[in-house]
């Protein structure tokens, strides 16, 4: 049973890397991002899994991949994917700085996390403009350290209001299932 899982995981990882190359992403960028992962000690399966997460998020947004596990959207939001079982996204590039959601929510930011208590994959938002969530289901968390009084809206799939709140606030155990889109201000 365990071998079957590993085999399936390895095939999925290779398919994700191939999809990146076939999707029109420059081969040099895909190779460079994969090399960053290898230098950071990731296996080929982990590199492929992260690339697959990035590809899924790119398919939902008008963004650009800026690292193996990082996407910057047109509105300036930054998505960082964490590996399964890891509490936080890894910094996989020697030149990359820490993200504004690493270790808490930096002043001026709205940070949303796929897991409870600031864990899992994360999206950092600093400027106004909506973003799409990457199909998060179940419980995660968010922290809003924007200017006091700023109103953030969480929307359903068809842009009905799922929730709204005012900065500065947070929720360490929030159900993402009904939320598809976020407008931080």
Domain at 142, CATH number: 2.60.20.10
**Residue 144 resides in a domain:** yes
**Residue 143 resides in a domain:** yes
Query: Does the structure show a pLDDT above 50 at 77?
Result: yes
Confidence band, pLDDT 50/70/90 cuts, at residue 27: low
What residue spans of the chain are helical by DSSP H? 2-22, 27-39, 44-60
pLDDT in the model for residue 93 = 72
**Residue 125 resides in a domain:** yes
Question: Closest Cα partner for 163 from 181, 149, 146?
Answer: 181
User: Using one digit for the tens of pLDDT, what is the confidence trace for 88-147?
Assistant: 999 887 666 678 998 889 999 999 999 999 999 999 999 999 999 998 999 999 999 999
Range of the domain at 141: 98-185
**Residue 81 resides in a domain:** no
**Residue 128 resides in a domain:** yes
**Residue 4 resides in a domain:** no
Question: Closest Cα partner for 16 from 48, 58, 47?
Answer: 48
CA-to-CA separations, 113 to 63, 77, 87, 98, in angstroms, rounded: 19, 13, 10, 16
pTM of the model: 0.82
Question: Closest Cα partner for 67 from 84, 47, 85?
Answer: 47
**Residue 47 resides in a domain:** no
Encoded tokens for 100 = 């504004």
**Residue 38 resides in a domain:** no
User: Using one digit for the tens of pLDDT, what is the confidence trace for 140-173?
Assistant: 999 999 999 999 999 999 999 999 999 999 999 9
Mean pLDDT of the residues in the chain? 85
- CA 20/CA 67 separation, integer angstroms: 13
Domain total of the chain: 1
pLDDT in the model for residue 174 = 98
């Amino acid at each position: 049973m365990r071998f079957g899982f590993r085999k399936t995981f390895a095939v999925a990882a290779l398919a994700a890397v191939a999809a990146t190359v076939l999707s029109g992403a420059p081969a040099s960028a895909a190779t460079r991002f994969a090399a960053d992962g290898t230098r950071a000690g990731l296996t080929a399966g982990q590199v492929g899994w992260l690339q697959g997460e990035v590809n899924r998020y790119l398919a939902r947004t008008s963004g650009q991949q800026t690292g193996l596990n990082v996407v910057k959207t047109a509105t300036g939001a930054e998505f960082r994917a964490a590996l399964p079982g890891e509490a936080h996204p890894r910094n996989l590039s020697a030149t990359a700085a820490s993200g504004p959601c690493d270790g808490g929510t930096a002043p001026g930011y709205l940070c949303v996390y796929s897991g409870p208590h600031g864990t899992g994959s994360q999206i950092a938002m600093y400027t106004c403009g909506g973003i799409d969530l990457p199909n998060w289901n179940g419980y995660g968390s968010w922290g809003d350290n924007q200017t006091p009084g700023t109103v953030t809206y969480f929307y359903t799939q068809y842009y009905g209001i799922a929730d709204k709140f005012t900065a500065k606030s947070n929720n360490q155990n929030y159900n993402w299932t009904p939320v598809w889109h976020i407008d931080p201000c």
